Amino acid sequence: KQVAKILDVPFSTLGFRETIADMVERIESGQKTHVVTANPEIVMLAREHQGFRSIVEQAYVVPDGIGIVYAAKWTNQPIYERVTGVELLEALMAEANQYGWNVYLLGASPEVIELAATKLQARYPQARLVGYRNGYFKEEEEEQIVQEIAETRPHLLFVALGAPKQDNWLVKYRERLNASLMMGVGGSFDVISG
């Protein structure tokens, strides 16, 4: 896979439609993928924190916003299009609707996640919304949450705990979640519910 390096963060150079096609192929072939939608703030976070940097270096990183597209342009690297978090979430839900994938939503407040789940299910009725849970849990509840998610075998697992918390969480439990595509979605559920 071709990558462009922006301040040492390895970005996918695929455009929006190509990214979706690539992700569909990974999901349909049962690969595990951790997606990070990285804007300049995330790039800086990776620069400042070694732990987060190594997580990002292992992830499928997409250019979230025009700032990354410009940074690529200035360094003569082939990123031509942004791939933002909310748009990616919606496009993957459309694929879930086509393929009948299992989808699990984790994070945000109880009110927000419930409303986001209701709206997404209404818009993508053939996607199997196999579970959702708010993002305000204690560490001792995590075992049970991981088991619950693993039992639903989600093709898509969207996690909204804010960066880097959502990505640390995904990497910590990645092997046990039985999820194919895992993606931190930051404030996306708040946007969708609003």
Say which residue the tokens 């993002």 belong to: 135
How far are the Cα atoms of 74, 110, 129 from residue 20, in angstroms, in the given order?
Answer: 26, 29, 20
> Which of 65, 107, 131, 154 touches ligand UDP by CB under 6 A?
107
- Name the residue nearer to ligand UDP (CB basis): 4 or 113: 113
Among 17, 168, 193, 172, which residue's Cα sits nearest to residue 184? 168
Residue closest to ligand UDP (Cβ): 135
Nearer Cβ to ligand UDP, position 27 or 159? Answer: 159
The answer to the question of residue 189 lying near ligand UDP (CB under 6 A) is yes
Per CB under 6 A, 162 contacts ligand UDP: yes
14 lies in the binding site for ligand UDP (CB under 6 A)? no
Candidate residues 160, 170, 183, 192; the one interacting with ligand UDP per rule CB under 6 A: 160
Contact predicate 180/31, CB 8 Å: yes
Q: Does 108 bind ligand UDP (CB under 6 A)?
A: yes
Q: How many residues bind ligand UDP (CB under 6 A)?
A: 13
Residue 187 contacts ligand UDP per CB under 6 A: yes
Residues numbered 118 to 157 that lie near ligand UDP (CB under 6 A) are 135-136
Inter-residue contact 37 to 60 (CB < 8 Å): no
Shortest distance, CB of residue 8 to ligand UDP, whole angstroms? 20
Q: How far is the CB of 25 from ligand UDP (least distance, A)?
A: 27
Does 15 bind ligand UDP (CB under 6 A)? Our answer is no
Angle in degrees, CA 104, 109, 113, rounded to 5: 35
Residue 62 makes contact with ligand UDP by CB under 6 A? no
Q: Kindly give the pairing relationship between strand 102-107 and strand 128-133.
A: parallel
In the chain, where do the E strands start and end?
A: 3-6, 9-12, 33-38, 60-63, 102-107, 128-133, 156-160, 181-184
Question: Where along the sequence are the contacts to ligand UDP (CB under 6 A)?
Answer: 107-109, 135-136, 160-163, 186-187, 189-190
